[in-house]
Amino acid sequence: MLIDLSALLRGEVTDIALDFDITPEEAPYGIEFTEGAHLTGRIEDTGGYIRLTAVAKVPYRGECARCLDPVTGVLEVNFERTLVPEGVMSEERLEEEADEYLAIRRGMLDIDEALCESVFLEFPQRLLCSPDCGGLCSVCGRKLAPNETCDCSPKEIDPRWAKLRELLRDDESTDEE
């Protein structure tokens, strides 16, 4: 989305309200964005210092990392950048400090890429249906309540390690004698 800042740069206005939708190009693995990101905020010029302050809300759907139940929610991402007219900073510095600055090119501001990157980076690595989700039993696969254990028999010993277990038992019995 291109935002026309020419009136702000000419000094005709001191702020511009933002209220629009952006569709993120890609979601983190296992996540589906159910709608586009809704961005609200403002761009303010206070004596030549131009600041963008906004909040993006992104509805999503995914699976709980512990029990695989569906999880839905809305991620809120605070998005703030200092805006600099083209030519004020070198392209290398703009790239190095992309989390602080955005360039105004020919009186227009394109925030799609920077906003989508912020949404992607702010997304939690693991979704949970609740913070105390018990997950699934590793033996039978039953969903466990928080702080619950299953009555299934413990894991079977890997046959490749069975000989080592016998050696440990033999060693313990010789120590006792």
What is the extent of the structural domain holding 20? 2-122
Listed in sequence order, the residues at least 6 apart from 157 whose beta carbon sits closer than 8 Å to its beta carbon are 165
Instruction: Give per-residue pLDDT as tens, 4-62.
Output: 988 888 888 989 999 988 887 788 888 898 888 899 999 999 887 899 999 999 999 99
Q: Which of 39, 150, 89 lies closest to 100 in space, CA to CA?
A: 89
Count structural domains, the chain.
2
Same domain, 91 and 26: yes
Whether the model pTM is above 0.75: no
pLDDT, average across residues 72-84: 92
Instruction: Give per-residue pLDDT as tens, 98-124.
Output: 778 888 888 899 888 888 888 888 888
Cβ proximity of 114 and 103 under 8 Å: no
Q: Is residue 129 one of the residues assigned to a domain? A: no
Same domain, 116 and 148: no
Return the percentage of the chain with pLDDT > 90, whole number.
Answer: 24
